[in-house]
Structure 1
Amino acid sequence: MTEALAGAPDKQPRKTKAPKLRDGVMKRGTTWSYVIRVRDPETGESKPKWVGGFATEDDAKAARDEARVKARRGEYIDRNTVTVAEYLAEWIEGHAVEIKPHTLKGYRDMIRLYIGPRIGNVRLQALRPAAITKFYRDLLTHGGRKGGPLAANTVKHVHTVLRKALTDAVLVDELLPNNPAERAKLPRTQATEPGMIWTPAQLRAFLATAQEHRLYAFFHLAAYTGARRGELLNLRWTDVDLDKPQIHITGTAAVLDRQRVEGTTKSGRSRVVSLDAGTVKVLKAHRARQDEERLKLGESWKGGHAYVFTTGWGEPVFPDTPSSLMPKLIAAHNKQNPRSPLPHARLHDLRHIHATTLLMAGTPVHVVAARLGHADPAITLRVYAHVIREQAATAADIFAQAVASC
């Protein structure tokens, strides 16, 4: 036995077979990889690109085939493991300077409350239109507080932020070949259009009640110019020309982290809005009252002569003040006039009443758009499509009557 063992030849260690590359796919350790040749757009040279980490050979082959097609089209993008949350964190910081503070806060909220918790862990390059469509559906059905529905407008805001970010991922950072949010489907919701919340008579009744309040001129100006809340609260007396007469809207005031902040208008452009004789009288009376308050307080007055709308101490009015005041004025009117109560309306509805009244009176759309500060009359057409349709319905009769009267 011993001699037999002694005479036996030594056992040679088995040679490990080197992994074989088959049509651009091979196994490396426990995962699969593929390699393709990609032309460098700057040098024109063709170089090999290895991509690994696939669980099965079929997964690697499928990814290889897709990569080959993109490489031939010049659309190939290197594989990246960055997640949606990681990309959005860098993206929002990169835009912190150029986005208005109030808008930036809204973007951060959309990312923090909705995008991050649901699809933040998804690899950016693995995000598909179908997944985004399902994400929107989930938000609409149970994305709100305590698992309740989320407002359709909020879902649209989420879509806006995600689409903007992914557009930069395509065009700026070159991490994606295309934007999956562009092909995702937003849930269908019933379109809502601002209607005639109040009739002209109801508006007059509201303003009659508001006339006793020191901010009456604010509500009057909001109704008679269609300007936004922040635009009026940003207004200085140097922006008011009672001789022409007109106001020059140059910026806006908003609330950010419970602080009053100022910035440019929503469109980023200033505009001039004409005033009627009645509004001129209201503003003159308002200025006289403000002058009396300033003289009465003397050195305690804090605002100088700058702002049109101020507190009793001269400081600029906080943006939430007129919004919270409006329902109180409506309630006061309804208490005094129980037989002709006013329906509920928001401060922003004064803007809609202004636009709707002008359009119903036949004012050209581009004129209304200019007063409202819409960057394009197409926005006015879309928002007030119901009014335009009503006007179109009477166009035939107007033409017939014009011809008959000649």
Structure 2
Amino acid sequence: MARGSIIKKKDVYYCVIPFRDPITNKDRRKWIKVGTSEKEAERFLTELMYEANRNGGYVEPSKMTVKEFLEYWLQKYVKRNVRKNTQDSYETFIRAHIIPEIGHILLRKLHHIHIDDLLDKKLEGGRADGKAGGLSERSVKYIYSILHEAFAYAVKKEIMTINPTDKVTPPRQQKKKVIVWTTDEIQRFFEVARNNRFYTLFMLAISTGMRRGELLALSWRNIEFREGLGVINVEYTLSKKRTLQPVKTEESQRAVIITPAMVDLLKRHKKKQIEERLAAGQTYQDYNLVFCSKNGSPLNAENIVKRYFYPLIKEANVRRITFHGLRHCSATIALAGDASMKIIQRRLGHTTIKTTGDIYTHPAIDAQYEVAATIDKVIFNEKKPGVLPG
């Protein structure tokens, strides 16, 4: 239990409160000037000690701003405890969206209304690139999550007494309808992509269901060719800053089987890569990556999507999906082919079967068509669909 004292100096009473500085972790004493009345000093000390003991100790009103605290949190906690990809993401959102809005506010004066206003502003028109429109519900909810985690740390370290985000309701994220290509769309896309430099990348993405970062971090040493079949050992992912990071969960670290056809495609891809390496000469940077630039360096994931994937989609005249949509297609094709949910889960690297079932499997349009065609034979008596029997 915290104990304070009253000290008189030159007819003025002071309340002296012992506390531990959460930043330096050193014991300190806070002198608070009360006035000339000893009774008033005693009353003030009693109230102060009551609050201090209720909160687990006295917390000195901080002169630290939100900006200073978030930078401290990034350095002292995030850098030591969070994966590099997440570190980069936290820092980007903090510097682009949080500090410009509330960074100047003293931490002790930060109110949940400030955070409510911040989230509302970002929803309405908070893009950092200056373009019209606000951020998505997902991005704004992410800002809330960062602040909630940061201020929870502040409370734990006794820098703050309460977490202001506890009184804030984050925006509800609307589930987007995921588009999955039909067999015809898949074939049209890959027919157009056949001569593209990244044809093998796109083929492997839909064949294995591997994540984009996992594919771009894939090394030749992680692929074993065994009597026609192949095994890909997934160990790393490529961060936005193009550095290799271990995959985030134990389930993500997995072995993925590939077919003889995919083995053959990879071998032909490697042959072309060797030709590029010879052409580049001494400028080639050998990271031993399966998918890399012509000089061997790691690829920029966003450039692959914007400069190659989306233009190919447009040329093939198929519905636009994200690169991650190839993973959805992979899971859906497997499910339509009566594959075990457990096998799909392991192949995709999900922690639970629920994730696989809830997120990555959607009714396959082709499978529905077969069911519909079977029903049509009965209800239309094998006559042409659309013409009711007389």
TM-score by shorter chain over 0.5: yes
In 2 relative to 1, CA 113–318 (structure 1 residues): closer, same or farther, beyond 3 Å?
A: closer
Name 1:74's counterpart in structure 2: 56
In 2 relative to 1, CA 267–52 (structure 1 residues): closer, same or farther, beyond 3 Å?
A: farther
Of 156, 179, 185, 2:163 maps to 179
Moved more, 207-216 or 64-73: 64-73
The answer to whether the Cα contact below 8 Å between 1:300 and 1:313 also exists between their aligned partners in 2 is no
* 1:294-305 equivalence runs, <5 A: 294=277, 297=279, 299=281, 302-304=284-286
Name 1:356's counterpart in structure 2: 332
The answer to whether the Cα contact below 8 Å between 1:322 and 1:347 also exists between their aligned partners in 2 is no
* 1:280-295 equivalence runs, <5 A: 280-294=263-277
Partner deviation per Cα, 1:55-82 (whole Å, 9 max, x = no partner): xxxxxx9998697356246365333232
* 1:314-353 equivalence runs, <5 A: 314-323=296-305, 324-333=307-316, 341-353=317-329
Give yes or no for the alignment of 1:153 onto 2:138: yes
Partner deviation per Cα, 1:245-295 (whole Å, 9 max, x = no partner): 220112122443xxx332222447532222233322322332233345556
Give yes or no for the alignment of 1:246 onto 2:204: no
Of 203, 219, 224, 2:202 maps to 219
Using the TM superposition, give the Cα deviation of residue 351 of structure 1 relative to its aligned residue in structure 2, in angstroms. 1.7
State how many pairs are aligned. 332
Partner deviation per Cα, 1:335-386 (whole Å, 9 max, x = no partner): xxxxxx3112222221222233334555455543433333444544553487
Using the TM superposition, give the Cα deviation of residue 155 of structure 1 relative to its aligned residue in structure 2, in angstroms. 0.8
Give yes or no for the alignment of 1:206 onto 2:193: no
| Matched position secondary structure for 2:243 | strand
Name 1:188's counterpart in structure 2: 172
AA aligned to 1:80 is S
Using the TM superposition, give the Cα deviation of residue 218 of structure 1 relative to its aligned residue in structure 2, in angstroms. 0.6
In 2 relative to 1, CA 168–350 (structure 1 residues): closer, same or farther, beyond 3 Å?
A: same
Give yes or no for the alignment of 1:125 onto 2:95: no
The answer to whether the Cα contact below 8 Å between 1:141 and 1:149 also exists between their aligned partners in 2 is yes
Using the TM superposition, give the Cα deviation of residue 189 of structure 1 relative to its aligned residue in structure 2, in angstroms. 4.2
In 2 relative to 1, CA 183–279 (structure 1 residues): closer, same or farther, beyond 3 Å?
A: farther
Using the TM superposition, give the Cα deviation of residue 154 of structure 1 relative to its aligned residue in structure 2, in angstroms. 1.7
Name 1:399's counterpart in structure 2: none
- Please give the alpha-carbon distance, in whole angstroms, between the structure 2 residues aligned to 1:203 and 1:182: 46
The answer to whether the Cα contact below 8 Å between 1:129 and 1:183 also exists between their aligned partners in 2 is yes
AA aligned to 2:143 is V
The answer to whether the Cα contact below 8 Å between 2:138 and 2:173 also exists between their aligned partners in 1 is no
Q: Which runs of 5+ in 2 are unaligned?
A: 6-12, 21-27, 35-42, 365-390
- Please give the alpha-carbon distance, in whole angstroms, between the structure 1 residues aligned to 2:287 and 2:113: 57
- Please give the alpha-carbon distance, in whole angstroms, between the structure 1 residues aligned to 2:96 and 2:239: 21
In 2 relative to 1, CA 329–366 (structure 1 residues): closer, same or farther, beyond 3 Å?
A: same
Structure of larger gyration radius:
1
In 2 relative to 1, CA 350–140 (structure 1 residues): closer, same or farther, beyond 3 Å?
A: same
The answer to whether the Cα contact below 8 Å between 1:247 and 1:273 also exists between their aligned partners in 2 is yes
- Please give the alpha-carbon distance, in whole angstroms, between the structure 1 residues aligned to 2:298 and 2:183: 30
The answer to whether the Cα contact below 8 Å between 2:84 and 2:239 also exists between their aligned partners in 1 is no
Partner deviation per Cα, 1:34-54 (whole Å, 9 max, x = no partner): 9698999xxxxxx9976679x
Q: Which runs of 5+ in 1 are unaligned?
A: 1-23, 25-32, 41-46, 54-60, 334-340, 389-406
Of 261, 277, 296, 1:278 maps to 261
- Please give the alpha-carbon distance, in whole angstroms, between the structure 1 residues aligned to 2:196 and 2:186: 16
AA aligned to 2:93 is M
Using the TM superposition, give the Cα deviation of residue 229 of structure 1 relative to its aligned residue in structure 2, in angstroms. 1.9
| Matched position secondary structure for 1:242 | strand
- The percentage of counterpart residues that share the same residue type is 28
Of 243, 260, 264, 1:261 maps to 243
* 1:36-185 equivalence runs, <5 A: 68=50, 71-72=53-54, 74=56, 77-94=59-76, 95-96=78-79, 99-144=82-127, 145=130, 148-171=133-156, 173-185=157-169
Question: What is the alpha-carbon root mean square deviation over aligned residues?
Answer: 3.9
- Please give the alpha-carbon distance, in whole angstroms, between the structure 1 residues aligned to 2:277 and 2:33: 74
In 2 relative to 1, CA 65–326 (structure 1 residues): closer, same or farther, beyond 3 Å?
A: same
In 2 relative to 1, CA 331–196 (structure 1 residues): closer, same or farther, beyond 3 Å?
A: closer
- Please give the alpha-carbon distance, in whole angstroms, between the structure 1 residues aligned to 2:336 and 2:44: 59
Using the TM superposition, give the Cα deviation of residue 87 of structure 1 relative to its aligned residue in structure 2, in angstroms. 0.5
AA aligned to 1:135 is L
The answer to whether the Cα contact below 8 Å between 2:237 and 2:246 also exists between their aligned partners in 1 is yes
- Please give the alpha-carbon distance, in whole angstroms, between the structure 1 residues aligned to 2:205 and 2:86: 23
In 2 relative to 1, CA 86–294 (structure 1 residues): closer, same or farther, beyond 3 Å?
A: closer
Partner deviation per Cα, 1:2-31 (whole Å, 9 max, x = no partner): xxxxxxxxxxxxxxxxxxxxxx9xxxxxxx
The answer to whether the Cα contact below 8 Å between 1:76 and 1:177 also exists between their aligned partners in 2 is no
The answer to whether the Cα contact below 8 Å between 2:15 and 2:45 also exists between their aligned partners in 1 is no
Partner deviation per Cα, 1:286-343 (whole Å, 9 max, x = no partner): 2233345556x3845725582212344444444344212112222332xxxxxxx311
The answer to whether the Cα contact below 8 Å between 1:236 and 1:308 also exists between their aligned partners in 2 is yes
Partner deviation per Cα, 1:100-126 (whole Å, 9 max, x = no partner): 444333222212222112222333234
